[in-house]
């Protein structure tokens, strides 16, 4: 598999610039309101919404950045509460846990996005479209992260919240599979092994850090 380094470099540079522009010009109240409405639409018709984004029919990159920030904040808050709630572990290890907690949501999107960009030669998509598709597919997991914060504060709700979190995780896997398959434009059966490979490499990178 040949890697077009120049294309990868240009796509990455363009995406970084778009992220900078998004963060620089973002209207928090406006984006929060629009993202809230977007999530409602997503929950009503998740597959249709992801298909539109993956095919480039709907530009959801700004909303994806907002959702990713929400995800990072939720993970960091849960990690921060856990760090102060439990006394075991040195200050250095707790600090490292917070750093990895903040990096993990970014890598969980960036690693598969770059792999898809490199592999998907027959149905090329911009990196921004790939990232938006993957982040939107993560919406159930982002909701699960919010539930995790409540669980850390109120452990007694685990009996109720645990099955909900598990169901949301399954939904994320299904939506991610559908989103990736749409990006590649492949049939379900032929894409299964490719999907497993992308998820394995992503999990390996996250495990290493």
For the stretch 92-108, pLDDT in tens is: 777 888 888 889 999 99
Q: Quote the percentage of the chain above a pLDDT of 70.
A: 90
pLDDT greater than 90 at residue 179: yes
Mean pLDDT computed over 165-172: 92
Predicted confidence band of residue 28 (pLDDT cuts 50, 70, 90): low
List pLDDT tens digits, range 81-137: 877 776 566 767 778 888 888 899 999 999 999 999 888 888 888 889 999 999 999
Q: b/e per residue, 165-175, with b = 16+ CB within 10 A? A: beebeebbeeb
Give the global pTM.
0.85
pLDDT (0 to 100) of residue 173: 95
157: DSSP letter: G
Nearest to 55 by CA among 120, 115, 129: 129
pLDDT (0 to 100) of residue 3: 58
56: left (phi over 0), alpha (psi -120 to 50) or beta: left
pLDDT greater than 80 at residue 171: yes
| Sequence-ordered alpha helix ranges (H) in 45-157 | 46-54, 61-85, 91-119, 127-137, 139-153
Q: Are 181 and 135 in contact (CB under 8 A)?
A: no
């Amino acid at each position: 598999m040949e890697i077009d380094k120049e294309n990868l470099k240009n796509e990455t540079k363009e995406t970084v610039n778009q992220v900078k522009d998004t963060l620089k010009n973002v209207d928090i109240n406006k984006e929060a309101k629009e993202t809230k409405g977007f999530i409602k639409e997503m929950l009503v018709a998740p597959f249709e919404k992801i298909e539109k984004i993956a095919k480039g029919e709907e530009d959801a990159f700004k909303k994806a950045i907002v959702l990713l920030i929400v995800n990072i904040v939720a993970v960091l808050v849960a990690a921060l509460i856990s760090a102060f709630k439990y006394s075991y572990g040195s200050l250095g290890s707790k600090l490292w846990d917070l750093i990895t907690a903040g990096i993990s949501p970014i890598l969980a999107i960036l690693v598969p996005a770059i792999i898809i960009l490199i592999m998907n030669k027959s149905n090329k998509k911009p990196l921004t479209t790939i990232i938006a598709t993957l982040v939107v597919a993560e919406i159930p997991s982002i909701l699960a992260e919010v539930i995790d914060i409540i669980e850390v504060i109120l452990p007694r709700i685990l009996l109720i919240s645990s099955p909900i979190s598990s169901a949301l995780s399954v939904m994320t896997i299904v939506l991610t599979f559908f989103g990736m398959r749409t990006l590649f434009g492949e049939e379900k059966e032929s894409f299964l092994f490719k999907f497993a490979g992308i998820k394995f490499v992503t999990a390996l990178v996250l495990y290493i850090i």
